[in-house]
C-alpha cells in the first residue's frame, strides 16, 4: 500500500481514465482514423503512467525534509520505504517507461517521437531536483507535463494517421484533445500555486524560493486569485464558441465545471489558513476529474 501511495496511484488512475475517454469516448466513437490498436494503446498508457510514477517517486525523494514539515503524516520515503528502495523503484519505472516509448515510437514509424519520453523523464527529474525550488518555473514545468499526458494520445494515435485527405476531420479532434490538454495545464497550474501557499512553512525551511516565499502569502494569494480567473474565462469561451447550441453540454459545464471554478476562486480570495488552501486544492482536483469526464458528452452532442 505504501508503494501505491508513493507513486500516487489516484493520479495515475486519472491519467489512465483520461486516455480511455479520449480513445474510446472521442476517437473511436466517431470512427476517427488512428494508428494504435488496443494493445499498443495500452503500451502508450503504460509508458505514460510509468514515467509519471517515476516522477512522483523522485519528487518524494527530494522532498523528504520538506514533507517532514508540511505533511509528516503522509511522508513515505524515510518512514515506510527506505531511500534506496525508492531510488530502485524510480529507476525501474523510469527505464520501463522509456523502453516502452522507444518500442512504440518505432512501431508507429515515428522514431523521433521517442524524444518525448526522454525529455519528459529528464524534465521530471529536473523538476524534483531543481525547478521546484525556483519561482514559478517549477509550477509551469510540471503543469506543461500534466497537459502533455493528455496531448500524448493525439501525438501518438492521431497525428501519424493524418494525411491530406483526412486532415480537416483529424484536426477537429486534435484540437479537442489540445483544448483538454490546455484545461489540464491551467487547472494544475492553479493547484500548484495554491499548494505553494499551503506548504510555505516547510518550503521556507527547506530553502525553496516559491512565489509566496519571495513576495509573501497575501500577495501570492492575489496572484493565484487572478490566475484562477483564466480557466473560468477559457471554459466560458469554449462553451460559447463551440457548444452554445448543445443544452446538455451547457448544463454540464455550467453546473459541474464553471460553478465549482467560481466557487474555488471565491474561496481563494477568503483563504487564510493552511486547511483552507488544502480544501481549495481538493476542489480543483474534483474539477479536473469532472472536466475530463465531460468527454463522455461528445458522442451525444456532436452526432
CA–CA gap between residue 7 and residue 26 (Å, rounded): 28
Q: What is the total count of domains within the chain?
A: 1
Tell me if 160 sits within 8 A of 110, measured CB to CB.
yes
| Residue that has been written with the C-alpha cell 531511500 in this structure | 83
Q: Is the pTM of this model over 0.85?
A: yes
Domain membership of residue 41 as a residue range: 2-301
Check pLDDT > 90 for residue 203.
no
Cα separation of 209 and 175, whole Å? Answer: 36
pLDDT tens per residue, range 212-259: 999 998 999 999 999 999 999 999 999 999 888 889 999 999 999 999
> For residue 65, is pLDDT > 80?
no
Mean pLDDT in the chain? 93
Place of cell 525551511: 205
- pLDDT tens-digit readout, 262-300: 999 999 988 888 889 999 999 999 999 999 999 999 988
The model's pLDDT over 86-122, given as tens digits with 9 standing for 90+, comes to 999 999 999 999 999 999 999 999 999 999 999 999 9
Model confidence at 180: pLDDT above 90: yes
The pLDDT > 90 percentage for the chain reads 78
Quick one: how far is CA 223 from the chain centroid? 21
Q: Which residues of 177-203 are buried (b: 16+ CB within 10 A; e: fewer)?
A: beebbbbbbbbbbbbbbbbbbbbbebb
What is the grid cell recorded at 57?
517517486
Report which secondary-structure segment, H or E, holds 153.
Answer: helix 137-153
Amino acid at each position: 500500500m505504501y508503494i501505491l501511495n508513493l507513486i500516487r496511484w489516484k493520479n495515475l488512475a486519472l491519467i489512465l481514465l483520461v486516455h480511455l475517454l479520449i480513445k474510446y469516448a472521442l476517437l473511436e466513437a466517431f470512427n476517427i482514423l488512428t494508428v494504435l490498436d488496443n494493445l499498443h494503446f495500452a503500451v502508450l498508457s503504460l509508458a505514460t503512467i510509468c514515467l509519471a510514477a517515476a516522477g512522483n517517486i523522485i519528487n518524494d525523494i527530494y522532498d523528504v525534509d520538506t514533507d517532514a514539515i508540511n505533511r509528516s503524516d503522509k511522508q513515505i520515503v524515510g518512514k515506510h520505504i527506505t531511500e534506496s528502495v525508492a531510488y530502485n523503484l524510480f529507476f525501474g519505472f523510469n527505464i520501463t517507461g522509456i523502453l516502452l516509448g522507444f518500442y512504440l515510437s518505432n512501431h508507429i514509424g515515428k522514431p523521433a517521437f521517442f524524444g518525448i519520453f526522454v525529455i519528459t523523464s529528464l524534465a521530471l527529474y529536473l523538476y524534483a531536483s531543481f525547478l521546484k525550488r525556483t519561482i514559478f518555473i517549477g509550477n509551469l514545468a510540471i503543469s506543461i507535463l500534466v497537459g502533455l499526458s493528455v496531448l500524448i494520445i493525439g501525438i501518438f494515435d492521431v497525428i501519424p494517421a493524418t494525411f491530406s485527405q483526412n486532415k480537416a476531420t483529424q484536426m477537429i479532434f486534435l484540437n479537442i484533445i489540445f483544448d483538454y490538454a490546455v484545461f489540464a495545464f491551467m487547472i494544475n497550474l492553479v493547484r500548484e500555486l495554491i499548494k505553494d501557499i499551503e506548504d510555505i512553512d516547510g518550503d521556507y525551511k527547506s530553502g525553496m524560493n516559491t512565489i509566496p516565499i519571495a513576495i509573501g502569502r497575501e500577495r501570492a494569494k492575489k496572484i493565484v486569485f487572478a490566475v484562477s480567473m483564466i480557466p473560468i474565462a477559457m471554459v466560458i469561451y469554449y462553451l460559447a464558441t463551440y457548444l452554445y447550441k448543445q443544452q446538455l453540454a451547457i448544463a454540464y459545464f455550467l453546473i459541474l465545471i464553471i460553478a465549482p471554478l467560481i466557487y474555488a476562486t471565491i474561496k481563494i480570495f477568503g483563504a487564510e489558513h493552511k486547511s483552507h488552501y488544502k480544501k481549495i486544492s481538493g476542489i480543483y482536483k474534483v474539477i479536473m476529474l469532472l472536466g475530463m469526464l465531460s468527454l463522455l458528452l461528445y458522442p451525444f452532442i456532436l452526432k
